[in-house]
Structure formats: structure tokens, C-alpha cells
Structure 1
Amino acid sequence: MINLPNDLQIDLPRVTTIGNKCINIENYISVLEYSKQIIKVSTKLNILKIEGENLVIKYITEDDLCIEGKIYSVEYWV
């Protein structure tokens, strides 16, 4: 059996941040909560809670979504 590194496993969520202005989430399931201060996103492993100011979903596709705004924190809820 071949053991792939976690970042190469297709079904795992991948979270990429650019400073505190942008966050990209790949392999998500759904958006659970959406406001200018809090966005919660469900993944196969956990729920991501993003807190900040003027948060908006810049784009959303079947595979990934991009959140922009002033990001204060990203929490992983298990």
C-alpha cells in the first residue's frame, strides 16, 4: 500500500491564507453560517470558523471557496 502525504490526499480539506486578507478553502462540504463577522464552513474532518470584519465570500465553486475581509482568527472545531 502506498502512503501519500496528507497534502496529496484529494479528499482532505486544504486551507490557504494570504496574510489576514484572504483565505481559500478547498474540498469543503458546505457553508453553515455566513455573516460579515463569522463564516463557518463544514469539511470532512471538522468545521472551520473564520472570524473578522467585512467578511465576504468572493467566489464559491463545487471544489473551493475564497473568503476576503479582515481576518482575525481561523478555528478548527472537531
Structure 2
Amino acid sequence: METFGVLFLSLILQIGTGFASDLVTSCDSCHAQATCLKLEERGETFTTTKTFSCLCKNGFVGDGISCYEVKACASLLRRT
């Protein structure tokens, strides 16, 4: 049951911060507990387009711009 609560909270946090991952313009946008992923694509005109995304590290949930510790979230759910 605790796993369900953590997954539910993760879903709520992702909905609440839903489109924030589209706003990542550099690795500086990522949370301290997130890994920055950089993708470079070459276009037809030989220009390079850089795309960044943030991914929370193990033990954390969120969209990468905001990361929350799973254990802390689980303890909050047990109180309610």
C-alpha cells in the first residue's frame, strides 16, 4: 500500500509541474538531485540544435526541475 501512495504522490507532482520540462534551456535549470541530459541534433542546414531535459536521480520523484525525496513523501502520506 505504501508503494501505491508514493506512486500516487509522484503522479500528482508530475501533473502539478507538468509542462516544466519543456522550459529547460540549460543544465542549470535542473534540480541539484537531477541529472541533465543533453541531446544535439544536426539539421538539414548543418546547424546544431541542443535539447536539454532533467531526470530526477534514484530515490527522488518529480519533473527534474523540482525533485522530492521519496522517503519524505511517503512519511507525509502516512500521517494523513
TM-score, with length taken from structure 2: 0.27
Question: Which structure is higher in helix share?
Answer: 2
Whichever of the two has the greater Rg, that structure is 2
Return the structure number with greater relative CO, CA threshold 8 A, min gap 6.
2
